[in-house]
Chain A
Amino acid sequence: MREKLLRLDDARFDNPRQALQDVKDLIQSGKIQRKDCGLAYGVLGSCFRMNDKLFLSAKAITEGIRCAEKDHHQSVGDLLQRYSVLVSDYGQLQAAINTSMEATAWHLEFNDQLGVAKTLVDRGEFHFYLNEDDRTIRSFTRALKYPLESKSPRHYVAALLGLSVAYSKLRDFPTARSYSARALDVRPRSYGVTALLNWQAGIIAHQEGELETAEAYLIRAFDGRYLTAVNLALVAVELVQVQLLQGNIRGAAKSAQLLAQHFDRLEENPVVEALAAELMRSGLAMRLSLRLVNRVRDKLEKERTRQNRAQSEALARWIKR
């Protein structure tokens, strides 16, 4: 049962809706034993989270902690770790770090080295969003000292990608590239993660002036099934820009048109939909320019920030003062 739950926990990254349904079916089959209750609540809560049902996620994980605290202490660390990620969704990054520290303490209590490493990866992300560059790098680097590669490739890749993004932010592109290449070498099973890795490798190559390499990575990153609407549009913008910089106006126009294939996804967000339509119209009329592309990118990035902030603000009233 435990293995089944853990498999569903991994599956949620590529097909969140299906994973949620599967975990619900598994629980409702009535076969979950008391000792696995904490994990069942945890996986269910994480699946709710991946489906943007954050209130239900909080309820499930909280109930899981209550249950594990009584029956199965070994699961408390894992549940607190899941909870810390949820708290970060609520925009409470410092609280997320504190909860993650507590998760680490529980993992240490049971000498769960893998658990400690996972919390370090999550904390690296929280520090990144707080613009604490030193702590970000320290957390991810410490996580890599544990045998994550063999035991949790997902977290191993997340740590490498996190380091790559952190060094890119510091404009240390050679170091960023080395981490990005190591992550790509792992060949993650998740299509969504592969799309993110190719996007990051494309950004680095672009910054290093290797436009053809950047184009190749960005074409691979352009996967409408696994990126959010705003990220998909951002990948398209990066690709169009790289092609324009190479003087490949026809290729850029064609790339802009690719967005049409994913219009059902883009429709989820009216701002993204309008910006994607503008890019496509300009492509059709062969009027794409770097100025237009930069303007669209700025607006997309603002929309991404607005989206994140709006979500945090809507959730913040449920945070205890």
Chain B
Amino acid sequence: MEITQQVDAVLAELHRRLKHHPKPIRVLENELGVAEGFFRKQRHSRSVDLGFLFKAFRHMGIDPYELFSTVFGGSIVDRLPIRADVLPGEDETLKFLAEQRREQP
């Protein structure tokens, strides 16, 4: 997804959640206004200042990682740009570490 599409997707999810948010609506409107203003601005820039974004989410009582995984699906790994799962090559140490992780409780 392009950055602009990502921002739109996050914004849509944010709106959906805030409809059911327990906080008084006026407070929410202010917070949403701040977040929206931020999103709109970032939409036109080439990158998103995630530090600020995460702070805004936390302020609204929303866990950013949970929100992102809802919007983008699954774990951080699914959003990484390199397709590591299909890359050629194997390594014994990597296999060993994977096995060790499986064995450890």
Contacts and interface: CB of A to CB of B under 8 A. Distances in A.
Interface in A29-86: 30, 32-34, 37, 40-41, 44, 48, 53, 55-56, 58-63, 65-67, 69, 76, 80, 83, 86
A320 interface: yes
Interface string B35-63: 00000000000111111011100000000
A94 interface: yes
A150 B54 CA distance: 29
A272 interface: no
Contact of B82 (A56, A58, A66, A67): A58
A23 B92 CA distance: 13
Interface string B71-93: 00001110011111111110111
Interface string A119-131: 0000000000000
B19 interface: no
A59 B87 contact: yes
Contact of A62 (B50, B82, B101): B82
Give the interface size class of chain A: 35 or more
B75 A69 contact: yes
A95 B81 contact: yes
A218 to B, nearest CB: 38
Chain B binding surface SS class: helix
A101 B82 contact: no
A73 to B, nearest CB: 9
A318 B80 CA distance: 11
A19 to B, nearest CB: 13
Nearest to A87: B81
Contact of A69 (B50, B76, B81, B82): B76
B27 interface: no
Nearest to B64: A105
Interface string B1-33: 001000000000000000000000000000000
A34 B104 contact: yes
Nearest to A108: B51
A62 B97 contact: no
A100 B97 CA distance: 26
Nearest to B84: A62
A181 interface: no
A241 interface: no
Contacts of A320: 81-83
Contacts of B46: 94
A102 interface: yes
Contacts of B98: 63
B51 A44 contact: no
Given A55-B88, A58-B82, A59-B87, A30 B100 contact: yes
A37 B101 contact: yes
A320 B80 CA distance: 8
B50 A59 contact: no
B97 A41 contact: yes
Contact of A44 (B76, B87, B93, B104): B93
5 contacts: A40-B97, A44-B97, A59-B89, A66-B75, A108-B54
Closest 3 A/B residue pairs (Cβ): A62-B84, A105-B50, A55-B87
Interface of B: 3, 46-51, 53-55, 64, 75-77, 80-89, 91-94, 96-98, 100-101, 104
Given A44-B97, A59-B87, A109-B54, 18 more contacts: A24-B92, A34-B101, A44-B94, A55-B88, A58-B84, A58-B87, A62-B82, A63-B84, A65-B80, A66-B77, A67-B101, A87-B81, A87-B82, A98-B47, A101-B50, A104-B50, A105-B54, A319-B81
